[in-house]
Amino acid sequence: MVRVALVTCADRPDVAEDRDLPVLVRALNEAGAQASAEVWDDAGVDWARFDLAVIRSTWDYSWRAAEFTAWAERCGALTRLANPADVVRWNTDKRYLADLAAAAVPVVETRYLAPGDAVELPDDHEFVVKPASGAGARFAARYTPDEHDTAVRHVRRMHGDGFTAMVQPYVRAIDSGGERALQFFGGTLLHASRKGPVLAPGTPYDQRKTAHPDLTGWTPTSDELAVAEAALSAVPGAPELLYARVDLVDGDDGRPRVMELELVEPNLFLWLHPESLPVAVERIIQAAGR
């Protein structure tokens, strides 16, 4: 019997509930594994007793990225970690978008403002400011050029907390076409979803947001699949990934671009795609048995 840890975080009011977690734990146990949900920063967990630790909903990591990546290194030295610790370290910093762009993967144009950098913001188009280490739209906001003062205060707040800020043009096609999430598991497409716009005009950066509004199933186009597969192929070192989610939006040219590549703790949306549950269970057990 393989032993599997599904890694999550402690309950806290500013972190969403993982609706899939109890369902996945139960399905794994029913399939013959010994599975349990374990909190990543619980010092009492003996990670070495598991055959596989699958990072699932460690959704508090973004404000503790250094601590989280150090945990991933320790855990990966004690058991098989999915995804691997080097992938976690690379993917927890959204400067990975620059690596994808350098590999000719179409991505949303992004500039990075590290603490100490001059705060230069667009003056001719709507734009988004968010942290390079972030999740669930936390500390993200949308601005018009005449909201520079507010945006500058936003960036300086992040710099004061030690975060690098990202500045991207607001992708107008999100308002009509939404954002598509292509979920891969065991190297093949598991399912895809579409969500509506997250950032409403005038919403303060520190206001809690609905991360996945109006979520529905989606059938990806051939162009979307091609961009998603190119992004996965560009991950440094060509690591073996148990799971991956590629979030896409349409650029001004109507072609898909990578908004985010989620390799650490992407929401699987199994509650929306129940037919994918047995596939995920099978592939987790296969990975644990290697």
First to last CA, the chain: 12
179 is catalytic: no
Please give the Cα distance from 241 to 139 (Å, whole number): 28
> Which of the residues 142, 180, 194, 245 is marked catalytic?
245
From the list 35, 182, 167, 67, the residue with the least C-alpha distance to 108 is 167
Q: Is the peptide bond before 83 cis (omega within 30 degrees of 0)?
A: yes
CA-to-CA distance for 136 and 232, rounded, in angstroms? 21
CA distance 254 to 186: 30
Whether 52 contacts 283, CB under 8 Å: no
The one-letter code for the residue type at 283 is R
195 contacts: CB under 8 Å, gap ≥ 6:
178, 179, 181, 212, 213, 214, 215, 216
Burial of residue 81 (CB within 10 Å: 0-12, 13-18, 19+) is: buried
Q: Which of 49, 74, 153, 208 is catalytic?
A: 208
| 208 noted as active-site residue | yes
The sign of the torsion formed by the CA atoms of 51, 41, 155, 198 equals positive
Quick check: is 80 catalytic?
no
Encoded tokens for 185:
């598991």
Query: Which of the following is catalytic: 147, 229, 262, 282?
Result: 262
Active site residues: 208, 245, 262
